[in-house]
Amino acid sequence: MPDIDLLLAILHHLAVFTLVGILAAEFALLRPGLAGPRLNQLARIDGAYGGVAGLVIVAGFLRVFFGASGAEYYLSNWVFWGKIGAFLGAGLLSIRPTMAILGWSRQAKADPDYAPPATEIATLRPILYAQIGLLALIPIFAAAMARGYGL
């Protein structure tokens, strides 16, 4: 019988690393001069970010309830809730860029020469920095949990 805890940990970690890679790609594309195929690519990447974020949540909570440590270990641990808070904060921050990217995509469908204004892009980049900062807290919390902090 396969080790469910190991399989869930692998799925969760791969999803988290994928999420970080997608956010890095989004950050690389979201810059002045964004238009045409790159704008379409950004829209697809942003959609993937949301999908993979959902996978991270599902895999994480499957680990909580079906993993070897048991739900009590996680649910009573303030460090776990710190991880959840950082992830939730990053997710909430992603709403504004997603809404902008969706709007730009609609405009690009109507006008293939559409390019988002540089000022709008400039206002979104700090939000991505903040998302990256919050996501960086997650492995810090994870390392603390692995060493018994928060119990």
Backbone angles phi, psi at 94, to 5 degrees: -75, -15
Helix extents (H) in the chain: 4-29, 36-66, 71-75, 78-93, 95-110, 118-146
Alpha-carbon distances of 145 from 12, 75, 92, 124, 148, rounded to whole Å: 15, 12, 24, 32, 5
Predicted TM-score of the model (pTM):
0.91
Residues contacting residue 91 through CB under 8 Å, at least 6 positions apart: 53
Q: Is the pLDDT of residue 64 over 80?
A: yes
Q: Is the pLDDT of residue 21 over 90?
A: yes
Going by pLDDT thresholds of 50, 70 and 90, the confidence category of residue 107 is very high
Q: Whose CA is closest to 87, among 120, 124, 49, 118?
A: 49
Residue 139 tokens, joined: 């492995």
